[in-house]
């Protein structure tokens, strides 16, 4: 079986594909962005890269940096169209299955090519891809056309199955799976409640991510509660770093920042989660965040926004976490932080519930056989 995957270079995509390494499938990756060298995270996959440039001319990067407008003009005739490059790859590979990861970034750029191809199309929806497609710049007509072409759908939350059906999807739903194909939890890194003293915050603040609101809320939390706490902000946008520097209250806290533009190893992040009393992530739009699932699996009490009801699929408010009802409500978030830090009994019971829940429902080893069988199901259906 030949599987042609289409995706941007993405950590979750690499993790998903690596579930197939021992399955005996021929797996190809068409890098829709054609950015960077071949990925060493999936060395066993045949990677289709280097398709974009017609001529890698001398001093290209120097011109790109020094004369960006001239560079854009040159590239208008120096780049192959993505449709042509993908059509060529398809003709050479003749795959049994095409699998697009995300509609906006990977599916729509090649829709004109795959529209009439006699091959099943799997589409994996992640994050805001379906939930907020209009804000992302996808027209209703484009979304409907792509969903009508989709033969098999995978989502990262139940919410998006209904959205897909409402916008033209009529075929087979393969199920809800985490975007990365499952979690590997190191039990030895899950600390007992009394050994947790870290407040962990996801630092996205890009218009959709609202970490700045969380920091505003933190300024209103009782100082006594934060005295013995270390605060770690990961994937922090530059605006977050600036906000902290300009805040007299925040700058006095024991705080460590990992920039969004610097790499933090996933194993290292999981260890931090295993030492965290609470994990806070706040956004206007999302699917089922992998970071939320990881934090729950490592025993950190989750305080999470709930766009479109996705997060409530795994969090029962007040039982195993707190749902942020309004991601712009500073006082409301401050109250949730104080309640979580004050209520050790709640955090203890939530830790016990969440670690068991993630181990049962999101274990990477258990999900691997299910993911491998999805492709076999599609292949069998095609040839029956």
State whether 167 and 192 are in the same domain. no
State whether 193 and 307 are in the same domain. yes
- Cβ contacts of 78 within 8 Å, gap of 6 or more: 53, 54, 55, 57
Dihedral angle sign, alpha carbons of residues 301, 305, 306, 311: negative
State whether 165 and 240 are in the same domain. no
State whether 196 and 340 are in the same domain. yes
DSSP state, residue 300 = P
**pLDDT at res. 188:** 92
**Cα–Cα distance between 198 and 220 in angstroms, integer?**
18
State whether 229 and 115 are in the same domain. no
State whether 168 and 273 are in the same domain. no
The whole domain housing 342 covers 187-361
State whether 170 and 314 are in the same domain. no
State whether 173 and 198 are in the same domain. no
Q: Kindly report the backbone phi and psi dihedral angles of residue 259, in degrees, each rounded to the nearest multiple of 5, phi listed first.
A: -65, 150
Beta strands in 25-103, from DSSP E residues, in sequence order: 26-31, 46-48, 97-101
State whether 135 and 32 are in the same domain. yes
Buried b (16+ CB within 10 A) or exposed e, 267-287: eebbbbbbbbbbbbbbbbbbb
pLDDT in tens, the chain (384 residues): 999 999 999 999 999 999 999 999 999 999 999 988 899 999 999 999 988 876 565 656 665 766 677 556 656 656 788 999 999 999 999 999 999 999 999 999 999 999 999 999 999 999 999 999 999 999 999 999 999 999 999 999 999 999 999 999 999 999 999 999 999 998 999 999 999 999 999 999 988 999 999 999 999 999 899 989 999 999 999 999 999 999 989 988 889 999 988 777 888 999 999 999 999 999 999 999 999 999 999 999 999 999 999 999 999 999 999 999 999 999 999 999 999 999 999 999 999 999 999 999 999 999 999 999 999 999 999 887
Instruction: Tell me if 210 sits within 8 A of 328, measured CB to CB.
Output: yes
State whether 192 and 178 are in the same domain. no
Look up tokens 């006082």; give the residue. 331
Instruction: Tell me if 86 sits within 8 A of 30, measured CB to CB.
Output: yes
CATH of the domain at 152: 3.40.50.2000
Structural domains counted in the chain: 2
State whether 279 and 370 are in the same domain. no
State whether 113 and 18 are in the same domain. yes
Report the predicted TM-score, pTM, of the whole model to 2 decimal places.
Answer: 0.91
**pLDDT at res. 264:** 79
**pLDDT at res. 303:** 98
């Amino acid at each position: 079986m030949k599987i042609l995957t289409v995706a941007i270079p993405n950590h979750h995509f690499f993790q998903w594909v690596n579930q197939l390494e021992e399955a005996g499938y021929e797996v190809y990756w068409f890098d829709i962005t054609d950015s960077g060298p071949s990925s060493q995270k999936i060395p066993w996959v045949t990677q289709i890269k280097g398709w974009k440039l017609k001529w890698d001319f001398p001093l290209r990067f120097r011109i790109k940096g020094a004369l960006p407008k001239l560079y854009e003009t040159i590239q208008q005739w120096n780049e192959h169209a993505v449709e042509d490059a993908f059509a060529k790859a398809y003709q050479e590979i003749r795959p049994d299955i095409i699998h697009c990861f995300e509609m906006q970034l990977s599916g729509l750029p090649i829709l004109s090519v795959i529209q009439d191809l006699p091959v099943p199309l799997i589409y994996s929806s992640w994050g805001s891809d379906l939930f907020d497609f209009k804000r992302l710049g996808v027209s209703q007509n484009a979304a409907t056309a792509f969903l009508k072409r989709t033969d098999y759908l995978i989502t990262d939350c139940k919410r998006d199955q209904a959205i897909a059906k409402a916008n033209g999807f009529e075929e087979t739903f393969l199920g809800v799976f985490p975007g990365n194909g499952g979690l590997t939890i190191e039990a030895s890194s899950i600390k007992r409640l009394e050994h947790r003293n870290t407040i962990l915050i996801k630092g996205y603040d890009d218009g959709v991510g609202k970490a700045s609101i969380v920091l505003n809320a933190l300024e209103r939390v009782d100082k006594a509660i934060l005295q013995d706490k270390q605060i770690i902000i990961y994937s922090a946008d530059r605006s977050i770093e600036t906000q902290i520097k300009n805040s007299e209250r925040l700058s006095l806290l024991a705080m460590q920042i990992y920039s969004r533009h610097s790499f933090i190893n996933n194993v290292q992040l999981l260890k931090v989660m295993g030492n965290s009393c609470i994990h806070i992530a706040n956004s206007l739009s999302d699917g089922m965040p992998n970071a939320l699932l990881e934090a729950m699996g490592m025993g950190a009490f989750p305080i999470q926004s709930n766009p479109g009801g996705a997060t409530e699929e795994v969090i029962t408010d007040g039982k195993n976490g707190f749902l942020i009802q309004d991601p712009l409500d500073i006082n409301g978030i401050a109250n949730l932080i104080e309640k979580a830090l004050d209520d050790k009994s709640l955090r203890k019971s939530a830790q016990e519930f969440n670690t068991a829940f993630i181990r049962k429902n999101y274990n990477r080893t258990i999900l691997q056989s299910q993911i491998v069988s999805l492709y076999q199901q599609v292949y069998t259906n095609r040839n029956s």
